[in-house]
Chain A
């Protein structure tokens, strides 16, 4: 009897899981170019949603136009953050770079709270809210839209990273920045554009998220952890892995929450991160990267 619920839980898990995957993808793009994990990515995603809110609701623009503008703003933000804040301390210890990313996210969150306080905002749904009945299982249009967007973006990223000269250059920048610079690759441009693209992808994730859950300044923190858990589970740097990781995370979260106890929903991401990093740090599809002294 209880098992009857499972397919429906999987559908709802796929919906959120794909969003986690998209955030994870946006972090992976930055990681695959700069070796930095952006601890401010969650707040960049919510910043994208807030920007859309300003354009669509505040200025009354068409939703599509608003989203495109928001993506542009976030691309510029990511680009400028890298150029103005990270590049000057590029040679500092990793600790300083991680802190800088965290501080940028924190300042963004503070800015959002200053403007909107802690009230719940929602983005208007730009497509009809409906559902597709498939036997006993109901698939909402939200799920279809989200899955479609994420798979499309994954496909584009896979092609760019795996099958174009640009992807090979990016791999060179990731593996050996000094070597890449020596053969004439413009490192600064790659790093800045990667941050821009990462922020723009995050913005898409933030917009899709804000359509289905209420938007608050604190959403960014939760989004960051879920995106990171998806990355850890899938393996750092693996584009396909992060999507599989996000899906597994989303589904597991719903199953644990329903069959065990709803209080597990909050911490599934953390539990997965801890277990994966301790037991199999390379994740499902990643390469082993661990220091042994």
Chain B
């Protein structure tokens, strides 16, 4: 037996382990996903695309609820405004979809800034929860009653788009790129001083302010970032469903989005991805039993709160420290 080769072997094994211990191993997932579409039929592809939409919705929501720790329910409003914004720019002004993505994000971010005003003024807990909830419902009411623009409760048809967006399979690749960009950007944000400030605010706001962190500025920024990411998710939703109507942005939707964050893992980026995958794919199974979805979501949130307060991602964190959360410590 060659002694030199034998001595190299453990080193190579260690190198291999190192690869799987670094966070770059997560890049394997999108690379593997690139080869997924040929195995899926059109309906399954649509469901996977919806998962990618909810990845953005989940990580955006998580910034406010998980990382800032504020009980704000206005996420559905950002989502709806992004969706309607993108759809209207396409339908009324004839913009191509790609040109509406950033504006949809900006519309969401503006809504985020508006909803951050009560939070910045010191409204907290359930006061903030119901205020932001009311904002979302007022937006939905606007979609219903501004009929000249949104076609009211009939809903509006999104114009079909050209090549990279013409089929579910093609859209998948565009969505995958956007989801990766959103995840990487949010990861960078949370690892910067912004993320550390969010963590300080969630931990103890008074102490954070006493240490000289301009808490209000960071709260405003957190809401704006959340709105931006979710608004882009809205643009993806618009082109994916092709038909936009107000009931897509009701309280059911809010619970779904909240469940994505809670079941995946509060404050965890990977958790939001897991939550989006589980909670978007799962309802497809029992779509024909009205009420069952609500029952299952309700029970899932209850079980997670009781037994897994840090979500499904905390199960994975027991297997590998890779999944352990760096932005949300107790």
**Residues of chain A whose beta carbon lies under 8 Å from any beta carbon of chain B:** 37, 39, 85, 88-89, 92-96, 98-100, 102-115, 117-118, 217, 221, 225, 228, 232, 263, 266-267, 270-271, 273-274, 277-278, 281, 290-293
Which B residues, 107 to 139, have Cβ-Cβ distances below 8 Å to chain A?
118, 121-127, 129-131, 133-135, 137-138
Measured between alpha carbons, how far is A262 from B114 in the docked complex, in Å?
27
> Across the interface, do A270 and B306 meet the contact criterion of CB distance under 8 Å?
no
Contacts A100-B305, A103-B301, A290-B127 supplied; 17 other A-B pairs, CB < 8 Å: A89-B306, A96-B305, A100-B302, A106-B298, A106-B301, A107-B295, A110-B291, A117-B291, A274-B131, A277-B118, A278-B118, A290-B122, A290-B124, A291-B205, A292-B122, A293-B122, A293-B216
B292 in the interface, Cβ–Cβ < 8 Å? yes
> Across the interface, do A277 and B130 meet the contact criterion of CB distance under 8 Å?
yes
Which B residues, 241 to 263, have Cβ-Cβ distances below 8 Å to chain A?
251, 255, 258, 262
Contacts of A110 in B (CB 8 A): 291-298
- Please judge, given known A-B contacts A117-B290, A270-B138, A290-B123, whether A103 and B130 are in contact too, CB under 8 Å: no
22 A–B contact pairs at CB < 8 A? A88-B306, A92-B309, A94-B71, A95-B65, A95-B71, A96-B305, A96-B309, A99-B258, A102-B255, A103-B301, A107-B298, A108-B298, A110-B291, A114-B295, A115-B291, A217-B291, A225-B133, A270-B134, A277-B118, A277-B123, A290-B127, A291-B122
Contacts of B289 in A (CB 8 A): 114
Contacts of B135 in A (CB 8 A): 274
> Across the interface, do A104 and B291 meet the contact criterion of CB distance under 8 Å?
no
- Kindly report which residue of chain A lies nearest to residue B130, judged by CB atoms: A228
Measured between alpha carbons, how far is A113 from B298 in the docked complex, in Å?
13
* In the A-B complex, the 10 residue pairs with the closest CB atoms: A107-B298, A113-B291, A110-B294, A110-B295, A114-B291, A103-B301, A106-B298, A270-B134, A37-B126, A293-B209
Residue from B69, B121, B133 in contact with A95 in the complex, judged by beta carbons closer than 8 Å: B69
Contacts of B306 in A (CB 8 A): 85, 88-89
B188 in the interface, Cβ–Cβ < 8 Å? no
Contacts of A221 in B (CB 8 A): 251
- Kindly report which residue of chain A lies nearest to residue B66, judged by CB atoms: A95
Measured between alpha carbons, how far is A114 from B309 in the docked complex, in Å?
28
Contacts of B296 in A (CB 8 A): 110
> Across the interface, do B302 and A104 meet the contact criterion of CB distance under 8 Å?
yes
Measured between alpha carbons, how far is A271 from B141 in the docked complex, in Å?
11
- Kindly report which residue of chain B lies nearest to residue A220, judged by CB atoms: B251
Contacts of A108 in B (CB 8 A): 298
B99 CB to nearest chain A CB (Å)? 33
Contacts of B251 in A (CB 8 A): 221
A200 CB to nearest chain B CB (Å)? 21
Interface size class of B (residues with CB under 8 A): 35 or more
> Across the interface, do B138 and A89 meet the contact criterion of CB distance under 8 Å?
no
Measured between alpha carbons, how far is A183 from B178 in the docked complex, in Å?
58
> Across the interface, do A232 and B305 meet the contact criterion of CB distance under 8 Å?
no
> Across the interface, do A293 and B205 meet the contact criterion of CB distance under 8 Å?
yes
B215 in the interface, Cβ–Cβ < 8 Å? yes
Measured between alpha carbons, how far is A158 from B69 in the docked complex, in Å?
36
> Across the interface, do A278 and B69 meet the contact criterion of CB distance under 8 Å?
no
> Across the interface, do A112 and B309 meet the contact criterion of CB distance under 8 Å?
no
Identify whether the interface residues of B are mostly helix, strand, loop, or mixed: helix
Measured between alpha carbons, how far is A232 from B128 in the docked complex, in Å?
12
> Across the interface, do A104 and B298 meet the contact criterion of CB distance under 8 Å?
yes
B314 CB to nearest chain A CB (Å)? 14
B206 in the interface, Cβ–Cβ < 8 Å? yes
- Kindly report which residue of chain A lies nearest to residue B137, judged by CB atoms: A270
B23 in the interface, Cβ–Cβ < 8 Å? no
> Across the interface, do A106 and B255 meet the contact criterion of CB distance under 8 Å?
yes
- Please judge, given known A-B contacts A37-B126, A99-B262, A278-B118, whether A273 and B131 are in contact too, CB under 8 Å: yes
B170 in the interface, Cβ–Cβ < 8 Å? no
Contacts of B69 in A (CB 8 A): 93, 95
> Across the interface, do A273 and B309 meet the contact criterion of CB distance under 8 Å?
no
B326 in the interface, Cβ–Cβ < 8 Å? no
Measured between alpha carbons, how far is A141 from B204 in the docked complex, in Å?
54
Contacts of A105 in B (CB 8 A): 298
> Across the interface, do B294 and A281 meet the contact criterion of CB distance under 8 Å?
no
B154 in the interface, Cβ–Cβ < 8 Å? no
- Kindly report which residue of chain B lies nearest to residue A114, judged by CB atoms: B291
Contacts of B141 in A (CB 8 A): 263, 266-267, 270
> Across the interface, do B292 and A114 meet the contact criterion of CB distance under 8 Å?
yes
- Kindly report which residue of chain A lies nearest to residue B289, judged by CB atoms: A114
- Kindly report which residue of chain A lies nearest to residue B142, judged by CB atoms: A267
> Across the interface, do A89 and B294 meet the contact criterion of CB distance under 8 Å?
no
Measured between alpha carbons, how far is A95 from B202 in the docked complex, in Å?
11
- Please judge, given known A-B contacts A89-B305, A94-B71, A290-B123, whether A103 and B298 are in contact too, CB under 8 Å: yes
Measured between alpha carbons, how far is A115 from B295 in the docked complex, in Å?
11
B145 in the interface, Cβ–Cβ < 8 Å? yes
> Across the interface, do B130 and A267 meet the contact criterion of CB distance under 8 Å?
no
B188 CB to nearest chain A CB (Å)? 25
> Across the interface, do B290 and A113 meet the contact criterion of CB distance under 8 Å?
yes
**Highest count of chain B CB atoms <10 Å: which of A39, A94, A95, A102:** A95
B259-298 interface bits toward A, Cβ cutoff 8 Å, 1 = contact, 0 = none: 0001000100000000000000000000001111111111
B317 in the interface, Cβ–Cβ < 8 Å? no
B299 in the interface, Cβ–Cβ < 8 Å? yes
Measured between alpha carbons, how far is A235 from B107 in the docked complex, in Å?
34
> Across the interface, do A106 and B71 meet the contact criterion of CB distance under 8 Å?
no
A118 CB to nearest chain B CB (Å)? 7
- Please judge, given known A-B contacts A95-B69, A99-B258, whether A107 and B294 are in contact too, CB under 8 Å: yes
B201 CB to nearest chain A CB (Å)? 9
